[in-house]
Structure formats: structure tokens, C-alpha cells
Structure 1
Amino acid sequence: MEGETLDGRYKLGEELGRGAHGVVYKATDLEAGAEVAVKLLRGPIQGAPEAAARLLREAQALASLWGTSVLRVHAAGPSPEGGVFVVTELVEGESLEAHLQDLAVFDDRLSSYNLLTLLDPIARALHTAHAQGLLHRDVKPANVFLVSPERGGGVRLLDFGVAPVLGAEALRASDTLRGSACYVAPEAWHDGALDHRADVYAFGALVFRALAGRPPFQGESAADLAEATQRAPRPRLSPLRADLAPEIDAWAERALAADPNQRFPYIPTLWNDLIRVMMNGRGPSADRVRQTFRLPG
């Protein structure tokens, strides 16, 4: 693919990475003379050119989120192989998933302060999107990108608008150990309409993963994972994190509730309650949380 030009405008360069749903290339926008990233989506979207139009509509709707941590989408279209390509801003760094895996090598976890600092822009972006009726549908550590300090730092939320094109089945069928399936809300295992509370669940599962070093539920198969997500007792964090206040277990139970009506209703309610719990923790990280973060009211 390197050297190929898409849509007569985007010349593909080196491959930057690949995942369950596509391959990402560094590319040059020949019209703007700027470096961009191009993601080629694959899988069940093959042979479905209408997916490109849908993705472009999603990208246009996401223009209202510019200024948040959502990765900017510049264009989308059908690829020569019958799939779909997405053109975004080019960022350099590593995913939160990769960062968590690096920490795990040393049996380490994100501190409460570092977690709140990293994910606060993501929580704000999701809240802004939900207020405009936009859902992400694939919130997970691999879709949170930590921009390198040399490129300005900060975080980006990736793949907004991609999940509807891939389809729910593709997400549920992904790697059940670390992929999208670990963050799929219980109600999303059944086809049907979803609302913002599916993102609330996924974001809660992401926080759990960052604090515990593993997703809240795992399974040898998608069926096992679906069963656990919907029926197993909600996991506890307190046995794994002595630095956190005991209330973290009640937070996790509500964030990961199988019934959407028992879940935190919105991202801000989940996030503010997490900050409150973190403020009640112990150690230097909890001290920094108390000094830095403020609760509304």
C-alpha cells in the first residue's frame, strides 16, 4: 500500500500500526501539503460503499467536537479494495493500552492522580458528544492515545464514529482478552438500540482496567465474556488497591451495573463520584488529587 494515493489526494507512507479493524499509515495530503494519518478499515465493511458515506457523515457531525480531545477527522471515502479509509490528524505517542502494558511489566498501575489527569479530557469529550446525541460505541484503552511530549502532550480519543460502520458484531467478536469485547456494555451483546449509557459502562470498564491491571470481566470465548458481563457479580477493586478508599467498590458496582438503569446516568456523574472517591484515598497521589481537583457545588 505504501506509495499508493487514495482519492487522488492522500499518498500513503510508512505503516504506523495495525489492529483488529484496520491498518494505519502515515500519509501526505497532496493538496494541503500536510502530514496526516490514514486508517484503512477492513472486515465486514468490505463491499459496502455506503459505509464510506455513513462514516463521512459521522465525521462531519464530529466537527462540533473539535477543541475537545477527540481526534480530528478530515475525510473518509471508499478504498480501492472495497473497504473504507479515514483521514485524521497525525499524532505520535502510544495508546493507553500500550502504556498500561508497560506498567504491568513492573507490576505497576496508574496512580489515582495520574489516572484522573490523563482521563479528565476524555471524560469531558464524551460528555460533550453525548450532549449532542453522539455516541462513541468503542471506548477502550486502545482508543485513548497519549501524545508524546515532543508533539505537545495531552490525550486523544480515537475512532469516534468508526464503530457504527464496523457493526456491533465485529466489536463483540474481537479479542476477548484485551480488545473491544472487554468493554462492551451488557445490553450491547444483544442487537438493538443503544444510548449513551453504553459509553458510560465502557468508560467505567476502562477506568477499572487502568486501576486493576486487567479488564473487569474476561472469558475464554465471546459467549463466556457475554455471560460474565451480564450475570457475574461486579468485581471489587479494593483488594487490589490499598491506596484507594473502600468506596471504590461501590463506585465500580454502579459504573459496571448490568442494568443500564442502575448505572451512573451520565459521564459527569460517574467522573465526579470517582474524583470524590479518589480524594478519600491514602498516600501522596491522593494528596495531589485533593490539591488539584475540585467537585462541583
Structure 2
Amino acid sequence: MTRDSAIPRPIDGRYRIERRISAGGMGAIWQAHDLDRDRPVALKLMLDKYASDAGARERFAREARAAHRLGSATDHAVRIVGFGIDDGTPYIAMELLHGEDLAARLSRRGALSVQEVATFLPQIACALRTAHAFGLVHRDIKPANIFISSHDGEERIKVLDLGIVKDLGRGAITTSGKILGTFWYMSPEQLHARPLDHRTDLWSLGLVMYEALCGRLPCPTVIEHLVLLSGGQVPRISQLAPDLPVALDGFFDRALERDPARRFQTVDELVQTFLALADGAWRPSPPLPEARGEPERALDAGARTALAPTALALTALDEATVWHAAERQ
């Protein structure tokens, strides 16, 4: 019986597997019970097919180190409680969260109000501010990695999954022939394998905010999204969702600016700008939490012809994990 299907014994003699929660790129997440501490945990186990690959193991270990640093410094990132290797398979033990991720909430609700986004945004910013201060670029900010945890009747945001984190302060781990990330939320520099920094996370966050407010991404087809990444204009959110303030059009023009130098330069700048726009609509802006310690247009025929081969290639790939091209760390 393989580690990828079921685990009949405690991991490392300590973590008793109870049920599978989800599966990702390199690992599966299980609910488990920590026998030593008598507490529930979430356990991420590397899949068997990757466990023998030295590069994959180092990337997994890098995820554990980065997640531990981040979760120890802010309440808005998942907390790591253990890391080890069991019978050749690396694992990461994390706090078990109760609630739903933003992708599930948007699927259930369709969209969020400006007020809700203004409430959640400073918490996401706290996690990203802390990560960026450490020299960490998340590289996979998307609704599925923003968890809305519920505890004692209150909701708290937790940023998840540093599986493809880039540490600007350490030696890069290069995987030849691959670009890592999720296609729909990649920044232009990320997709085109250009040098990147923390501002790539701000692009992704801008897309998450747009989707959360509008109930859809600005460019929901592969070809339209590629045009956006390569020079197209951001569809006006106030036309797609007429109840939203027109002032948000300018906000998203900047948040989704292809040139990082013309984008918001820090997550706090992005958040404070959004809160200032939202402020008059509902109530005073909440303080930022501190860390611990143009309309949509049809594509012309030329653009469709030029992008069609790329679009076909992209739709044939697993958009949620790895994109094949030269990765330049």
C-alpha cells in the first residue's frame, strides 16, 4: 500500500492519519492526530513519485523552512508545528484550520462586497508584508491559497502553501524547463520567465481582489488572459459590476500594470489605496495588522491568430501546477 493512497500506521510514530483533505502538486494533505501532543494537525506528505528526487526534496524542505519563518512571525499565515522524514518520505505538520478557502467562498457566494474585501485585505497584507520583509516571494497567491479560518465565531485570514516560494536571500533552486505557478494568477514577468521580486505577488493579489469583487477574472478565456499579460487593457470593473465605485477602475489599472515599476510598489501602498477608495462607501478604514516579533473588447482576428497556438498548448497543461518553459530564478 503506497503512501499516495492510504497510510495504515502513524507517520514518524507520532502522527496518526485520519482522513485525506486534499491533493496538490507535490504532496497530499491529510488530517491527522499528533499522538505526542494530543492535538489535531494537518499533515502534508510528499508523493512517492517525487520523494526520490533530490531537487523536489530540497524544494519541499525550503517550503517547510519558509512557512515556519512566516507562520512564526504573523498570525495570518499557517503555523508549522513539525517537519521530518518518515521512511524516506518528507512531511510537514501544520495547524489544522477550520473554515473554507476564498475559492470555495466565491464558488458559493459569487462575489464579495467592498466591505468584505476591505476587511480581509489588511490581513492578507500582513502575511505578504512579513514574507517580503524576509525576502520571500510567494509566487502563488490565488483564492485557493487564501483560507478563511473560523475560530470562536470570528473569521481570520491565513495565507497557505509556500510550495513554490522564491527566497531572494538564498541560492536559487532552478528546475530546468519549468515555470512554476498557476496560470490565471501569474504576473507577466512570472509567465515570461523574467526576473521577479515581491511585486509579482501584488499583481496576483490584484487579480484575486478583482475576482472577489466582480465574481470573475477580468479576462476569463485563455486567449483574452494572454492578451492582458502581453499588452491588453484591464476591463473596467465598474462596467462588469455596475454597483462598484468607478474609482476602482483606476485602482485596478495600477494594480494590474504589466510593468512592475508602474505597479503598486508595496503591499501596504496597495491596501491603503484600496481602503481610501472604500472608506467613503461604508466606514472608517481598519488599521493594518502588525506582524508579530477600459471596458472589455473583442480580440481582433490578428491577435486571435497569433495567440491561438499558445492558447492550445496552455489548455493542454495542468494550469494549477507547472508551466513548461525556461525558468529563470
> How would you bin the TM-score normalised by the shorter chain?
0.7 to 0.9
Q: 1:36-63 deviations in whole A, cap 9, x for unaligned? A: 1012345985523333432333234325
Range with greater deviation from structure 2 (91-100 or 2-11): 2-11
Say if 1:166 and 1:215 are closer, same or farther in 2 by CA, change over 3 A: farther
Give the superposition deviation at 1:259: 0.8
2:59 maps to what in 1? 51
Runs (5+) with no aligned partner, structure 1: 173-179, 281-285
Does the 8 Å contact 1:136/1:160 carry over to 2?
A: yes
Deviations, residues 79-101 of structure 1 (Å, cap 9, x unaligned): 6575x432110011111110001
The residue aligned with 2:116 is: 114
Partner residue in 2 for 1:132 = 134
Aligned partner of 2:31 in structure 1 is 26
TM-score (norm 1): 0.80
Secondary structure of residue in 2 paired with 1:25: strand
Distance 2:26 2:239 in 1: 35
1:272 aligned partner, one-letter code: Q
Contact 1:235–1:252 (CA<8 Å) still a contact in 2?
no
Letter in 2 for 1:142: A
> Aligned-pair distance for 1:152?
4.9
**Other structure's SS at 1:14 match:** strand
- SS in structure 1 at match of 2:238: coil
Secondary structure of residue in 2 paired with 1:217: coil
1:196 and 1:232 mapped to 2: Cα distance? 23
Shift in CA distance, 218/119, structure 1 to aligned 2, threshold 3 Å: same
- Whether contact under 8 Å (1:71, 1:156) holds in the other structure is yes
Asked if 1:183 is matched to 2:185, the reply is yes
Q: Map of 1:1-297 to 2, 5 A cutoff?
A: 1-20=6-25, 22-42=27-47, 45-46=50-51, 47-48=53-54, 49-65=57-73, 67-78=74-85, 84-104=90-110, 109-150=111-152, 152-164=154-166, 169=178, 171-172=180-181, 180-220=182-222, 225-280=225-280, 286-287=281-282, 290-293=283-286
Q: Which residue of 1 aligns with 2:169?
A: none
Contact 2:119 2:286 in 1 (8 A): no
* 1:215-269 CA distance string (max 9 Å, x none): 2333347xx7445323221221111233332121111011011111110001011
Distance 2:30 2:174 in 1: 19
Q: Give the AA of the match of 1:69.
A: H
Structure with the greater alpha carbon radius of gyration: 2
Shift of the 53–102 alpha-carbon distance from structure 1 to 2, 3 Å rule, reads closer
Q: For the Cα contact (< 8 Å) 1:75–1:88, is it kept in 2?
A: yes
Total equivalences in the alignment:
273
Cα separation, partners in 2 of 1:234 and 1:148, compared to 1, 3 Å: same
CA displacement at 1:35 relative to structure 2: 1.1
Identity %, equivalent residues: 33
| Equivalent residues of 1:44, 1:166 under 8 A apart | no
**CA RMSD, Structure 1 to Structure 2 (Å):** 2.9
Once residues 287 and 42 of structure 2 are traced to their aligned partners in structure 1, the CA distance between those partners, rounded to angstroms, is: 36
- Paired with 1:118 and 1:166, the residues of 2 have a C-alpha distance of 34
Contact 1:94-1:147 within 8 A present in 2 as well: yes
TM-score norm. by structure 2 comes to: 0.73
Greater RCO between the two (CA within 8 Å, min separation 6)? Answer: 2
Query: What CA distance in whole angstroms lies between the structure 2 residues aligned with 1:193 and 1:68?
Result: 30
Q: Any idea what SS the aligned residue of 1:265 has?
A: coil
Q: Distance in 1 between matches of 2:285 and 2:225?
A: 37
What SS does structure 2 have at the residue aligned with 1:110? coil
Q: Distance in 2 between the 1:238 and 1:38 partners? A: 42
- Helix, strand or coil at the partner of 2:254: helix
Shift of 1:208: 0.6
Contact 1:26 / 1:36 at 8 angstroms: preserved in 2?
yes
Question: 1:16, CA displacement in angstroms?
Answer: 1.7
**Where has structure 1 moved over 6 Å in runs of 4 or more?**
165-168
Q: Which residue of 2 aligns with 1:283?
A: none
C-alpha displacement of 1:163:
4.0
Task: Provide the rounded CA distance (Å) in 1 between the counterparts of 2:235 and 2:48.
Answer: 33
